[in-house]
Structure 1
Amino acid sequence: MKLAILAVGHRQPGWVDEGCAEYLKRMPRELAMTVTEIKPEPRGSKTREQLLAAEKARLREALPGSCRLVVLDEKGDDLTTMKLAKRLETWMQDGRDVALLIGGADGLDEEFKQQADDKLRLSSLTLPHGMARLLLCEQLYRAHTVLKNHPYHREG
């Protein structure tokens, strides 16, 4: 199974790219993870709906075929690390690749939210997009280590 993080946004600071690269490198071959940056639509005089529709088309092009669709949304499931590990285990048993979508400044098109197999919430705090990418990479790596009983995660 592969994990594909598709994030709408501009080039991130070096520390974000370096941090994500570190967690991508740590993932095992059988659970390879990628981060793909999706170009945001130039704002200009476009409506929010026009911006989201253009970004939706770009995201659709980048989606792996027949994957489990997971959107990051402020109204998504608020999981602990242990619950995320259980969710990851469920995804692995399903066998399909997983695409995790991080929307741009205006969020994600409503159609993605309706079609999503899962909706996750990273935090109640508002996070910069780069921080959300890095946090998601780290938490997916941590969830994997929980499933492997690796000492990276310590309860208590």
Structure 2
Amino acid sequence: MRVTILAVGRLRAGPEREMLDDFLTRFDRTGRSLGLGPASVVEVEAKPGAGMAAEGALLQARVPKDGWLCCLDERGDLLTSPTFAGRLDRWKMERREAVFVIGGADGIDPSVTGRADLLLSLGPMVWPHMLVRVMLAEQLYRAATILAGTPYHRS
């Protein structure tokens, strides 16, 4: 199952980019034998002052009609890492792609969240959108290691 992180805004070179690339490479390597991956990042440009609806239209244009759609939202479901891994394992049996949407500074437009199969929270706090990419990539890698039975995740 292909995995896409669909995010508003551009991530420039720096420590966040290095960590994101590292975790996605690890995910691809670990997930390949499990039927997970490859993982990619698709960025849509945030237009200053355009608002959530404009960002929502850009996101909608990039969401496949037949894939799983998960929107990251602080009001979403809180899942443990093993539960998240189980969800990915189940999803890969049903569809060929999973898309994880990370919105802009104002969040994700309801036109996108209304289509979501899952609203996922990384906690009740609000995180910088660039850091959320890294946190999500790490959880994808962690999920692959849980499914592979490797010792990365300790519970």
Q: Partner letter of residue 39 of structure 1?
A: E
SS in 2 for 1:115: coil
Matched with 1:39 is: 45
User: Do residues 135 (structure 1) and 135 (structure 2) align?
Assistant: yes
Structural mapping, 1:5-154, within 5 Å:
5-12=5-12, 14-26=14-26, 27=28, 28-29=31-32, 30=35, 31-43=37-49, 51-154=51-154
SS in 2 for 1:101: strand
CA contact (8 A) 1:6 1:35 kept: yes
CA contact (8 A) 2:2 2:38 kept: yes
Structure 1 residue 56 displacement after superposition: 1.4
CA contact (8 A) 2:113 2:119 kept: yes
Would you say how many aligned residue pairs link Structure 1 and Structure 2?
Answer: 149
CA contact (8 A) 1:12 1:130 kept: no
- Deviations 1:20-69 (CA, angstroms, capped at 9, x unpaired): 111111123442111122111221xx5xxxx1121112112222352111
For 1:94 and 1:132, how far apart are their aligned partners in 2?
26
CA contact (8 A) 2:56 2:109 kept: yes
CA contact (8 A) 2:77 2:120 kept: yes
Where does structure 2 lack aligned partners over 5 or more consecutive residues?
A: none
Where does structure 1 lack aligned partners over 5 or more consecutive residues?
A: none
Structure 1 residue 116 displacement after superposition: 0.7
- Deviations 1:76-120 (CA, angstroms, capped at 9, x unpaired): 110111111111111112133011000101111112111111110
Q: Partner letter of residue 114 of structure 1?
A: G
TM-score (norm. length: structure 1): 0.88
SS in 1 for 2:85: helix
For 2:89 and 2:108, how far apart are their aligned partners in 1?
26
For 1:59 and 1:89, how far apart are their aligned partners in 2?
25
Give the % identical residues.
40
Structure 1 residue 15 displacement after superposition: 0.7
Structure 1 residue 122 displacement after superposition: 0.8
CA contact (8 A) 2:68 2:95 kept: no
For 1:11 and 1:148, how far apart are their aligned partners in 2?
30
